[in-house]
Amino acid sequence: MSLFGSMTTAISGLTAQARALGHVSDNVANSQTAGFKRTDTNFVSYLTDSTLQVHRPGSVVARPDYTNTVQGTIEQSENPLALAIAGQGFFSVALPTGSANGQVTFDERQFFTRAGDFQLDRSGYMVNGAGYFLQGWAADAAGEPDRTRIQPIRVSDLVFNPIATGSIELSANLPATGTVPVSTQFNVYDTLGALQPMTLTWTPAALNTWTLDISAAGAGGSLGTIDVLFGQAAPVPVADGTVGDFANASGTLSGSAAVAGEPATIAFTADFGQGPQAITLDVGAFGAARGVTQYAGDEYTVRNLAQDGVPLGAYSSLGIRENGDVAINYDNGQSRVIGRVPVTTFNAPDALQRLDGQAFMRTLESGEARTSDPASNGSGRLSIGSIERSNVDIAAEFSKLIVAQRAYTANTRIVTASDEMLQDTINMRR
C-alpha cells in the first residue's frame, strides 16, 4: 500500500509542478500585455491518514494564486486617451456582440479590466486593444454625470452649435476733461454664428455726463442712445468717477435701476435678420470703481472688452480630465463634457473570474461591484495618457521556473524508485 501510495503522491507532485510551470509560462508570455495580472502558485497538501503512530502518503494540488490587487508599472503613453488606475479598482467595459440597425449591440453582462490602452474606433467608441468598450456615466447639458446608469462612452456631438452674443462686458476709462466723441469697434455673433460689427460711441454731453450710442451696421445702424451719469451728476451722488445712473434712453436701449453696488447694465436689441436679439452691456457697478469709469486722462482707454458669443465649431479632439470627465474639444475654443469615467472596486478582487483580453467578471466570492468617482471611496485615481503594464517580474518567474523544474525532476526520482521497489517486490517469488 505504501509503495503504491508513494508513487501516487509523486505523480500528484508531477501534476502540481506541471501546473506551476503552466502558470509561469502564462506569466512570461504575457509579460508585455497591458493590464495583465500574473498568476502565482499555491500548493495545498491532502492527507490519506495521519496519526501519532502512522502517516500514509497523501497528495499535493497546485491552485492558482491570483494577483489582481498587485499593480503593474504605469508608463507614459503617446496616446492621449490611454488610461491607468493608480490604486485599486477597474474600468467598467462592455463586450460587443454584433450590430442591429447600424448600431453596436453589447453583452448584457458587466465586464471589468485594468487594460486602459483605449482609442477611438470608427463609430466614436473608446475601445482597448482587447476589443472591450469603455463604459461611463453620461453627462447632461451642464456636464454633470448621471450616476444612475452606466453605458459605453461614444463621441457623437461632432458639431458645437453657435451661441448668439447675449452679454458684453466693457472695462474702460473716459477722460474726465474729454471734449470730443470716442468710440470702440468690436464684433458680436448673431443667432447663426456670423460675426456682426458693432460700435460704441461716447459723446460728452455735460459735466460728468456722457451719451452712449450703440450702432450695428448689420442691424440698420444706430440702436439707440442713453446718458451715463458719473459721480455728482447722478440724482443720488456717488463716488466721483463711478457710474451713478442712466437717463434719457432712446431706441431699444434701457438702463438698469440705480442701486449702490448692483451691476450697471444697459439692455438693447439688435435684429440681424433673424429677429430681435437681446444683448446686455455690462459697464460695471453703481458707485464702484470698476467697469467704465471717468477719471483724469488724455485718452479714452479700453482695459477689457469681452462678449459671450461663440461661432460654429467642428470636432477637434477628445480629452480626458483627472476627475474622469470625457470632453470633446472644438476648433472654436469650446469644449463639451459628454461623460465621466468611473472606477469600480470589489471587496475581494482576487476572486474575480478571469476572461480573455485581460477582462474580469464578478463572482459571489468577489463581492458586489462598487462604482464611484476616481480617487473616492477607496478607488484609485486616474493617470491620463498612461498605461499600466503587466505586473510580471521576469526575474522572479525564471526563479520559479528553476524551482518547478527541480521539483518535477525530484518527483520523477520518487516514481522511478517506487517502480524499482515494486519490481523487486514482484520478483520475490522467484
Question: In this structure, are residues 280 and 170 in contact, taking their beta carbons and an 8 Å threshold?
Answer: no
Rg (CA), the chain: 37
Question: Position of cell 469681452?
Answer: 306
Per residue of the chain (430 residues), give pLDDT as tens: 577 777 888 888 899 999 999 999 999 999 999 999 999 999 998 887 777 878 777 889 999 999 999 999 999 999 999 999 999 999 999 999 998 888 899 999 999 999 999 999 998 999 999 999 999 999 998 889 999 999 999 998 888 999 999 999 999 999 998 889 999 999 999 999 999 999 999 999 999 999 999 999 999 999 999 999 999 999 999 999 999 999 999 999 999 999 999 999 999 999 999 999 999 999 999 999 999 999 998 899 999 999 999 999 999 999 999 999 999 999 998 999 999 999 999 999 999 999 999 999 999 999 999 999 999 988 999 999 999 999 999 999 999 999 999 999 998 888 888 877 878 777 876 5
**Dist CA 291 CA 303 (whole Å):** 9
- The pLDDT value given to residue 99: 87
Closest C-alpha to 391, from 65, 48, 13, 21: 65
- The burial class, CB within 10 Å (0-12 / 13-18 / 19+), for 238 is buried
Instruction: Indicate the helix (H) or strand (E) that contains 280.
Output: strand 276-285
Decide: 38 and 67 in contact? Cβ < 8 Å.
Answer: yes
* Residue 52 φ/ψ, nearest 5 degrees: -70, -25
Distance, CA of 345 to chain centre: 17
Do residues 243 and 284 lie in contact, with contact meaning Cβ atoms separated by under 8 Å? yes
Tell me which residue of 327, 274, 344 sits closest to 93, measured CA to CA.
344
Contact call for residues 280 and 270 (beta carbons, < 8 A): no
CATH code reported for the domain at 167-307: 2.60.98
What is the distance between the alpha carbons of residues 226 and 200, in angstroms, rounded to a whole number?
A: 11
The x, y and z cell numbers of residue 355, run together, are: 476572461
Q: What is the DSSP string of 174-203?
A: EETT--S-EEEEEEEE-TTS-EEEEEEEEE
- What residue spans define the domains of the chain? 2-67+391-429, 74-160+314-388, 167-307
- Dist CA 149 CA 9 (whole Å): 53
Q: How far apart are CA 339 and CA 341, in angstroms?
A: 7
The per-type count for the chain, helices as H runs and strands as E runs, is: 2, 35
